[in-house]
Structure 1
Amino acid sequence: MFELGFDWRVFFTIFVTVFIAELGDKTQLATMLFASDKEVSKWLVFIAASAALIVASAIGVLAGTFLSSYIDEKTLAYIAGLGFIIIGLWTIYSAT
């Protein structure tokens, strides 16, 4: 099902894209809130948040793999792009 082809260029493209997308989002803010609790181990917060992101990413990979069996990759890219545009427009609309 999955092949382990390693391409550094693809790795860094995915890393930078996801890293930038995650900066300052709800997930990071929630993690900062948990880490601000003086009675909670920072390692526990880090490990739990990392595990959650790994599981969420795994779901994304599995969903993308499943969908790509039925829908063309280019069509999926258009759908994802349209989804981001709709979310952006909704965010702008909600802010006014």
Structure 2
Amino acid sequence: MDWKIFATIFTAVFIAELGDKSQLATMLFAADKEASELTVFLAVSAALVFTSLLGVIAGSTLSEYINERYLNYLAGIGFIIIGVFTLYKA
């Protein structure tokens, strides 16, 4: 395993996930007195692992048909569109 790549990916995803909607939803579920913290943690962890698995499968499948360079362009354009939309709505 390449630990430099691991650290880069971990840091990028960790920073991207801080304060997002899924973290806020997790805090709300954890605040519910009827749900144990362990249940919330396990459910949220499983959901994040599954969505990450879908991302890995989609990315590796797309990379078989589309050049990685074009995928990077597409991702960048997607983020720009989301940013412009977010600024427009603000």
In the alignment, structure 2 segments of 5+ residues that lack a partner are none
Measure, in 2, the Cα distance between the counterparts of 1:15 and 1:49.
17
Measure, in 2, the Cα distance between the counterparts of 1:55 and 1:80.
21
1:42 aligns with 2:37: yes
In the alignment, structure 1 segments of 5+ residues that lack a partner are 1-5
Measure, in 2, the Cα distance between the counterparts of 1:27 and 1:50.
11
Aligned residue number for residue 17 of structure 2? 22
Runs of 4+ in structure 1 deviating by more than 2 angstroms, as ranges, are: none
- Scaled by the length of structure 1, the TM-score of the pair is 0.92
Q: Deviations over 1:28-74 (max 9, x none)?
A: 00000000011211010000000000000000000001000000001
Measure, in 2, the Cα distance between the counterparts of 1:77 and 1:50.
27
Measure, in 2, the Cα distance between the counterparts of 1:48 and 1:74.
35
| Paired amino acid for 1:78 | Y
Bigger helix share? 2
Aligned length: 90
Aligned-residue identity in percent: 63
Measure, in 2, the Cα distance between the counterparts of 1:49 and 1:39.
16
* RMSD over equivalenced CA pairs, Å: 0.5
1:11 aligns with 2:6: yes
